[in-house]
């Protein structure tokens, strides 16, 4: 498919406070997005590697304590897990999916 035939999938969650755009990368399927100030609960269907691009994201993974992730830091969420995030400023991220 040529670039002129592709469409960009946009997703919006939590009344627009979390938004993402889907893309294919050399590392596979991914989304880039923004999380606005707030607290959120997510679930996974596949393993996800989240990389913070800008801002600071406070994350609570299954059976762990809350941990801060700064720009260029990443964390992995296993498939089928629930995790929580909190941020005091807008955060940009890229999420890579294991297929």
Q: Supply the pLDDT for residue 7.
A: 82
Report mean pLDDT in 10-residue bins for the chain, 99 residues: 71 97 94 98 97 98 96 97 97 95
The answer to whether 35 touches 18, Cβ cutoff 8 Å, is yes
Q: Collect all residues with Cβ–Cβ distance below 8 Å to 83 and sequence separation of at least 6.
A: 41, 42, 43, 44, 59, 60, 61, 62, 77
Whole-prediction pTM value? 0.89
First-residue to last-residue Cα distance in the chain: 20
**C-alpha Rg value of the chain to the nearest Å:** 14
State the residue for tokens 């100030």: 37
Q: How far is CA 57 from the centre of its chain?
A: 10
How many CA within 13 A on the CB side of residue 19?
8
Catalogue all structural domains in the chain, each as residue range(s) with its CATH number: 10-97 (2.60.120.10)
């Amino acid at each position: 498919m040529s670039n002129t035939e592709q469409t960009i999938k946009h997703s919006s969650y939590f009344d627009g406070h979390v938004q993402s755009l889907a893309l294919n990368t050399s590392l596979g399927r991914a989304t880039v997005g923004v999380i606005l100030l707030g607290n959120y609960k997510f679930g996974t269907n596949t393993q996800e590697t989240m990389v913070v691009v800008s801002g600071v994201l406070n994350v609570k993974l299954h059976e762990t304590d809350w941990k801060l992730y700064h720009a260029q830091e990443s964390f992995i969420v296993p498939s089928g897990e629930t995790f929580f995030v909190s941020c005091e400023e807008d955060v940009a991220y890229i999420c890579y999916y294991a297929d």
